[in-house]
Amino acid sequence: MIRNYYTDSYQSAIPVTISGGNLSDDNLLDGRAKATTPQGAWLQYNLYVGNSPSGLPVTTTSDNTVVTNATAVGLASPNPLIKVGMRVTGGTLPAAGVLIASVTNISNYVLATAQSIAADTTLSYSYDTEAKIKVHTINNEVIEFVNPIQGSILPVSVVQVYSTDTGGGISNLVALS
């Protein structure tokens, strides 16, 4: 539970899950269809930004184990900044990089395609886009926030967070009412 002087006055919170979660370009944050819900009945929320990468690349490592035509990559030192959907570049990886398909734990992840990587190669991890959140406001406006500050509350009353055009490492959003 988020707890600070901003959030103590809120009565309820809805976790907003971006990837495979409750976001939709058709639904309001409370799950109702925007097209069939009159604007006067929309519920408004203040949106808390839990995680927002401040720049690219997000992180680098140089302590991986040998990978020989495989998808599993291990790290000697845990790195909690590595997330699903990041692109890994460096060493013998293709110039465009390879996407991370899943994260097993903070020391192991799985690439989308099999690769070969020498031990202790310097690897960079980043997202394909800048951190951004696209929202629909109670005033029926669509606004996009680029590189929002982690730990902040957006300065608008939000009724919807779009699944498209929201990403770049944005996570742990919470709709507060």
Together in a domain, 101 and 66: yes
**Residue 74 is part of a domain; what is its CATH number?**
2.40.30.20
Does 157 share its domain with 170? yes
Q: What mean pLDDT do residues 4-21 have?
A: 65
Q: Among candidates 47, 58, 70, which has minimal Cα distance to 136?
A: 47
> What pTM, to 2 d.p., does this model score?
0.74
* 121 shares its domain with 140: no
Tens digits of residue pLDDT in 83-136: 988 999 999 999 999 999 999 999 999 999 999 999 999 999 998 888 899 999
CA angle 98, 102, 103 (to 5 degrees): 110
Instruction: Judge if 148 and 171 occupy the same domain.
Output: yes
Q: Give strand pairing partners of 46.
A: 176
If asked whether residues 41 and 18 sit together in one domain, one would say yes
Q: Are 117 and 145 in the same domain?
A: no
Q: Report the pLDDT value the prediction gives residue 22, as an integer from 0 to 100.
A: 59
Q: How many structural domains compose the chain? A: 2
2 within some domain: no
User: For a pLDDT cut of 70, what percent of the chain falls above it?
Assistant: 90
- Domain residues for 171? 13-53+130-176
* pLDDT computed for residue 8 by the predictor: 55
Summarize pLDDT for 132-146 with one digit per residue, the tens: 999 999 999 999 999
Asked whether the predicted pLDDT for residue 6 surpasses 60, the reply is: no
